[in-house]
Amino acid sequence: MGSDEMSTNKSNPELNMACYSLDDWYKGCMASTESHLTALIQNELSFSKQYNEAWNQVLILWQTNQSWLNPRNVTELSEVAIWAYTIESPPLHRAFNAATCTAGKGPEEYGHYPFKSLHFLLTRTSRLRRPKNHKCAKVYRGVSVEFSVRNHFRFGQFTSTSLDQNMAKKFQSVTFFKLFTCKGIEISEMSIFEYEEEVLVPLYEIFNITSIKDTSKGKMVVAKSMGTCSFHNCAFMGKGNTACPEHQGAWGYGEHYFSGVNGCRAFLQDFLFIVHFFT
């Protein structure tokens, strides 16, 4: 759950709607995407040295707890994916998150995105492992980056947090997040580091900032979940883009369908107008 997951070359990156992020949630195409998964994983492992190293390293660890050598289904592949994502060395999460933040910019960026299989497995896990009662949770995250912020934002990448405030503070050097997530999933039993009480927040969850405080140890940002928003859907199957009907519905907003980056920008403009109108 290292704080370097959101490191950037910018001195004060902005927390916003992350319009370039690949926020595909595979609605209506999980089964068809799964049918291509084995071949896709093998292709991407041969292309990315870091992905291959992380995957095979955790596969050996995974095999010690099994009586068989290889994952037999998509659920077991997801377990290996979570381990590969949370392992510290090689730091696959850094390359994966950096690429995910821009893979939704356009067809060329998506075509060169080398982690389609990992993205699918993490998204599938985040959608299918949520508790049936949809209980929200208070989670924490410390990072070594100072952000400029809007009132509403998405992380634009899968974001590791902890149920343990003291654990999260070990990673803080600049900014500390206190989040109320309704879409995050607890992955402690699937993570390399079970003791961190890790909760993985999906990149498509929208947060509303309720307070920002300067403390002796840095800045504290408190934010609450407002729903979800995805501008891409089933890109791997060539089905294109979608809008944010779930979140729009929460505001009583019409079923206006945008697409990709332009849709994100258009939605953001209208969304901020609505927020301003009602506040």
Q: Where are the domains of the chain?
A: 19-278
Residue 159's nearest CA partner among 90, 213, 93, 224 is: 93
Q: 48 vs 150, which has greater pLDDT?
A: 48
Burial (CB < 10 A; 0-12, 13-18, 19+), residue 35, is exposed
Q: How confident is the model at residue 100 (pLDDT cuts 50, 70, 90)?
A: very high
Is a pLDDT exceeding 90 seen at residue 29?
A: yes
Is a pLDDT exceeding 80 seen at residue 111?
A: yes
What residue spans of the chain are helical by DSSP H? 30-34, 37-47, 49-63, 74-86, 92-100, 107-111, 116-128, 165-169, 245-250, 260-278
Is a pLDDT exceeding 90 seen at residue 33?
A: yes
Across the range 175-201, mean pLDDT stands at: 85
Q: 139 vs 1, which has greater pLDDT?
A: 139
Q: Is the dihedral of CA 209, 210, 215, 220 positive or negative?
A: negative
Direct distance between the N- and C-terminal alpha carbons of the chain, in angstroms, rounded to an integer: 35
Does the model's pTM come out above 0.85? no
Helix/strand/coil for 44 = helix
Does the annotation mark 141 as catalytic? yes
Across the range 135-140, mean pLDDT stands at: 92
Please tell me which residue in 141, 191, 205, 230 is annotated as part of the active site. 141
Q: How many residues does the chain have?
A: 279
Please tell me which residue in 160, 162, 191, 230 is annotated as part of the active site. 160
Please tell me which residue in 5, 196, 198, 205 is annotated as part of the active site. 198
Class at the top of the CATH hierarchy for domain 19-278? alpha beta
Residue 96's nearest CA partner among 150, 171, 24, 21 is: 21
Is a pLDDT exceeding 70 seen at residue 1?
A: no
Is a pLDDT exceeding 80 seen at residue 66?
A: no
Does the annotation mark 154 as catalytic? no
Does the annotation mark 109 as catalytic? no
Is a pLDDT exceeding 50 seen at residue 250?
A: no
The answer for residues whose C-beta is within 8 angstroms of residue 197's C-beta and 6 or more apart is 162, 163, 164, 167, 186, 188
| Span of 42-51, 75-84, 115-124 with lowest mean pLDDT | 75-84
Residue 106 has φ and ψ, to the nearest 5°, of: -175, 175
